[in-house]
Amino acid sequence: MPETLPQFATLDAVLEHYAQCTPEAEVAVDGTTRYGYHQLNELVNAYCQWIEARGITAGDRVALLASPGIPYLLTLMAASRLGAIYVGVNPRYSVDEIAHVIAVTDPKILLHAEVPNDDALVDRARSAAGQIDVLPVPDLHIPDLDSAPRKSPALPGDVAVIVFTSGSTGKPKGAALHHSGLINAALSQHDHLDSEPRRYISNLPINHVGAIMNTTLGCLVGGGTLVFQAKFDPAGVLDLIEIEKIETWLQVPAMFTLVVNHPDFGKADLSSLKSICIGGGAISAPTLNKLRKTGAVIFVEYGQTEVMSSLSYSEQGADDDILLNTIGKFDPRFETRIAGESGKTCAVGETGEIQARGDCVLRSYWGDETSTRNAFTSDGWLKTGDLAVLRPDGNVSIRGRLREMIKSGGYNVYPREVEAVIETHPSVAEVVVYGVADEIYGEAVHCTVECKPGRTVSAEMLKRHCTGSLANYKIPKVFSVVSTLPRLSNGKIDRAQFRHDRI
């Protein structure tokens, strides 16, 4: 059984707890820089004094433009300790994208830290910031900064961070996530994946809920160590796993695929790995097969920004069918259901929408009452927009997005079901299935495929591959093959690029 951990009140309380219990334990590694819990906790206190001197108080927003690294961790924790609200900004953002984040959240300050190979970062920040102060993250080793202990004025239900949705439909919205929701999600992850202090790679963008919850808090609630990688690089990931003895490896499918297909994958010593967790989408069978060779226990998880990142996990020892075709089981600590259009809970085998309620859901879309209201049912269930079915074994299979469901000739076609079949073709790396307006069928099923390096495939070959596995109406009418599928900044496929012909 996992060790029972404290119910931390705020994000920074996690750091404070281990600064007292295991002060010398390593908390963060960033290149050649290493910090223990006590030392980093004192730097957070000093950072609080510096931020306060800029007029920032509880409830104010503190924005940070940076790569994964110690400046990110310090800023996240200092904002929490002041009762302020952290807003991460991806350094890959354009001036307009940065300006949108600033317009929505109205931060008191926009901080920045050095980003590899980006000399124009500060210029973009200043162009986007308007009247808001743009300052570098300070040197916290200045002797006159006070590192005296302090306690956050925030309550567990207060907003801790604002995380922008991926922007796959319209302008990104700022999801206001609270302390207790993020901490409970992190405790759930710790129980499922770790149950002891673990060493994690932290290389997801600092504006992403996967960075804040999964690869930061999910590690720290158990007293683990964050090993930062400023920019994802497959060879660099393999080096970090080997050199830093990484134990828990959590990435999105595209990142795993790039790493396992790297020439050095079979040469690196990955024996330190204990858990691998796949989040943010479905993994392909070839990638899963290669990950199996590490000997680590492999999990899948499911969630989205609005539910603090994760609601479900596969069980330890799950077979390939579960890992490839399900999102595991909902964690009973969260209030979840699969519901039909009437709001009635679906029976086993019946497709409906995943919905969640209670402490695991966002407080609001920041400054957007209409979107917040539309996101919930009349009785308070968050509508995730994800269609799923409960299997007899208790695992849940995703059928697609509610808005992505294709109505073709009177039939419902769930893109994920079709994608799963096409992905098994040996030449296919990744695939997107989508609907296109059609005079006869209402919508026709189309797909776009990205091939594996050095491989090719024809539309006729893909059609033959689908025959026998899919009903005729589910087989795409059009197969397109491209060199690279479009992607969002977080590495996920940008499905919005395929929706312009939808009805």
Among 96-100, 146-150, 295-299, which stretch is predicted with the lowest mean pLDDT?
Answer: 146-150
HSE-up of 108 (CA within 13 Å, CB side)?
16
Does residue 381 contact residue 360 with C-beta atoms inside 8 Å?
A: no
For each of the domains in the chain, give its residue range(s) and CATH number, in order of start: 11-145+155-390 (3.40.50.12780), 405-498 (3.30.300.30)
Residue 344 has pLDDT above 90, yes or no: yes
Among 93-97, 123-127, 246-250, 289-293, which stretch is predicted with the lowest mean pLDDT?
Answer: 93-97
- What integer pLDDT is reported at residue 501 of this predicted model? 46
- What integer pLDDT is reported at residue 51 of this predicted model? 96
359 CB neighbour count, 10 Å cutoff = 17
- Burial group, residue 261, by CB count within 10 angstroms (0-12, 13-18, 19+): middle
User: What is the Cα–Cα distance from 357 to 376, expressed in whole angstroms?
Assistant: 9
Looking only at the bridges linking them, the beta strands covering 109-112 and 61-65 are parallel
Residues in the chain, total: 503
Instruction: List, for residues 71-127, the tens digit of each pLDDT value.
Output: 999 999 999 999 999 999 999 888 888 999 999 999 999 999 999 888 999 999 999
Residue 500 has pLDDT above 70, yes or no: no
Which 8-state DSSP code applies to residue 301? Answer: E
Instruction: List, for residues 113-147, the tens digit of each pLDDT value.
Output: 999 888 999 999 999 999 999 999 998 876 677 77
User: What is the Cα–Cα distance from 150 to 142, expressed in whole angstroms?
Assistant: 19
Q: Largest Cα–Cα distance in the chain?
A: 74
Instruction: List, for residues 187-234, the tens digit of each pLDDT value.
Output: 999 999 999 999 999 999 999 999 999 999 999 999 999 999 999 999
Average of per-residue pLDDT across 174-185: 98
Looking only at the bridges linking them, the beta strands covering 297-302 and 312-313 are antiparallel
CA distance readout (Å), 377 to 104, 172, 356, 373, 374? 25, 21, 10, 8, 8
Write down the residue that tokens 């992607």 correspond to. Answer: 487
Concatenate the DSSP letters of all residues of 26-62 into one string. EEEEETTEEEEHHHHHHHHHHHHHHHHTTT--TT-EE
- What integer pLDDT is reported at residue 97 of this predicted model? 85
User: What is the Cα–Cα distance from 169 to 152, expressed in whole angstroms?
Assistant: 36
Instruction: List, for residues 346-384, the tens digit of each pLDDT value.
Output: 999 999 999 999 999 999 999 999 999 999 999 999 999
Does residue 58 contact residue 256 with C-beta atoms inside 8 Å?
A: no
Q: What is the pTM of this model?
A: 0.84
418-456 as b/e: b if 16+ CB within 10 A: bbbbbbebebbbbbbbbbbebeebebbbbbbbbbbeeee
